[in-house]
Amino acid sequence: MAKKAKPYEASEFLDNPEVIAEYITQALSSRKLDVFLHAVGQAAKAHGMSKLAEETGLSRESLYKALTETGNPEFATLERVLTALGLKIVVEPASEPTNKQAA
């Protein structure tokens, strides 16, 4: 009988803000909203949804709904979640200018 593989749970490895920041940054670099929201959701799960709900003032249910691949969270929700995770939103120049910037 073949062994069944356990699904990979990224949340098991997201144990400090530096690791979480790198994980979410990599997801964001995919430029796919569903990938980014999944990463934030995994970080939230690692942090603990009940604890996160308390820290953000949002309900667990609304957090679960917002942080799915099909979620549509408001910017304020993402900012509150990332702050509770010990992160901040930073915008920096791209390493290479786009064609529009070069023209």
82 lies in some domain: yes
Dist CA 53 CA 63 (whole Å): 7
Residue 60 forms part of a structural domain: yes
pLDDT at 96 over 90: no
Q: What is the pLDDT of residues 46-82, one digit of tens each?
A: 999 999 999 999 999 999 999 988 889 999 999 999 9
Asked if residue 2 belongs to a domain, the reply is no
pLDDT at 28: 93
- Which CATH number fits the domain that encloses residue 24? 1.10.260
Residue 80 within any structural domain of the chain = yes
Specify the pLDDT at position 101: 56
* Number of CB atoms found within 10 A of residue 91's CB: 4
